[in-house]
Amino acid sequence: ILTNQITSFLLSANETSGKSSRSSPSPTSPGTRRSLKVVCSDFRKSVTFEKSSFTVNGNRTVSSSTINEKYKVGKVIGDGNFAVVKECVERSTGQEYALKIIDKARCCGKEHLIENEVAVLRRVRHPSIIQLIEVDETPTQLFLVMELVKGGDLFDAITSSTKYSERDASAMVFNLAGAIKYLHRMNIVHRDIKPENLLVCEYPDGTKSLKLGDFGLATVVEGPLYTVCGTPTYVAPEIIAETGYGLKVDIWAAGVITYILLCGFPPFRSENNIQEELFDQILRGKLEFPSPDWDTISLPAKMLISQMLQVNVDARFTAEEVLSHPWVTVRALRHVISSILSSNRTLTELCTNINLDDLRQGCPTPGLKGRCPAGFRCVIDPTQLILITKSPP
């Protein structure tokens, strides 16, 4: 079901800060959704490629390709409709990167998606967002040197693992919500958050984190948006309804991903793979946690997902509220501490066996007493979280 429903769709309406003025039928009317095209042009005026130079995270673009001089280009690690991604190594430092090579002729008519992506990536810098290192071009190709993430994308990870433990899922949601919070503070909405656009970082201790990429549909929110775009499984109801939408469509998509991480299938789906049926389910927003798949999933996880998948936009969580939810905060803290100090087995065991009921009473659990590693101390802060901090001299 998941695989069949993850085909991207790009539909159009006039994107303005007011109501859309269309002479054609509504894109949400039966039989019209698949025949429309995308209109996304918000960042285009801020970036040009023809014989221009600009700085990207401290690196300057050039007007002719020096990629082969500066980098040793390796094997293909991904491809798409008009681009291929290869491994590359910077000759002077030995640093590994990903090189996205875009065929200009093949992306004719979709230049705005590439321009959007470059323009947004030039503005952002966050540990949970793929970093753009350098831009280069020839008359026929555009080169994007980007941060290399070797764990593959989340879609492949989900299809191979089916579902994740709450520990791993909450850590991934923590990363995703952090990236969304950062973007939303800049009034940037991504509009295409889905597993294919999330790369998985794997660490030696077995823990995982996510990095968000593909900013082709991203835009600055200066008022209600009306362009219908995204991917069906993850699209928010207000996009389909064309009532105007904003930043919180990203939270809806993140809620769908959280649901999938924990059970292996999406919350809204059409058994017959009919897009109209899927959209009707999304508009109704009736959320279920069917047995037996959800029997062992904790109540806090279900409560968080319910708040992220509110049809009422005002009631839907913000990125900040997702990050402050106990299911994300407490589990993510354990995850971070365990990752940073994974060499200390006692602390790792401690962080994965905290009695939260005792914490809510404001006192350390018996297991905490005398079990902090040498050089560290354990305290409970006002938000009832365990902090592992360096002991004072």
What tens digit of pLDDT does each residue of 371-388 get? 444 444 444 443 334 444
100 marked ligand binding residue: yes
Residues 293 and 156 in one domain: yes
pLDDT digits (tens, 9 = 90+) for 276-298: 999 999 999 999 999 999 999 99
* Residue finishing a domain among 100, 121, 147: 147
- 106, two tokens: 């093949």
Residues 285 and 312 in one domain: yes
- 206, two tokens: 């077995």
Around Cβ 64, how many Cβ atoms within 10 Å?
A: 9
* Residue finishing a domain among 304, 324, 344: 324
* Residue finishing a domain among 122, 147, 172: 147
Residues 284 and 317 in one domain: yes
Question: Distance between CA 102 and CA 114 in Å, rounded?
Answer: 9
Q: Kindly report the CATH number assigned to the domain that includes residue 314.
A: 1.10.510.10
In a domain, residue 339? The reply is no
In a domain, residue 271? The reply is yes
In terms of residues, how long is the chain? 393
In the residue annotation, 314 being an active-site residue is answered as no
- The whole domain housing 374 covers 352-390
Q: Kindly report the CATH number assigned to the domain that includes residue 57.
A: 3.30.200.20
Residues 173 and 290 in one domain: yes
In a domain, residue 6? The reply is no
Residues 174 and 299 in one domain: yes
- Evaluate the CA torsion angle 357, 301, 247, 22 in order and state its sign: negative
In a domain, residue 333? The reply is no
Residues 365 and 306 in one domain: no
Is pTM beyond 0.95? Reply is no
Predicted local distance difference test score (pLDDT) of residue 381: 41
Query: Crossing angle for the helix pair 299-308 and 166-185, nearest 10 degrees?
Result: 30
CA 163 and chain centroid, separation: 17
pLDDT digits (tens, 9 = 90+) for 43-87: 333 333 333 333 444 444 444 468 889 999 999 988 877 889 999
Q: Is the pLDDT of residue 353 over 60?
A: no
Residues 212 and 101 in one domain: no
Question: Distance between CA 348 and CA 367 in Å, rounded?
Answer: 13
If you write DSSP's letter for every residue of 70-120 in order, what string do you get? HEEEEEEEEE-SSEEEEEEEETTT--EEEEEEEETTTTTT-HHHHHHHHHH
Predicted local distance difference test score (pLDDT) of residue 271: 86
**Residue tagged active-site, from 136, 153, 168, 192:** 192
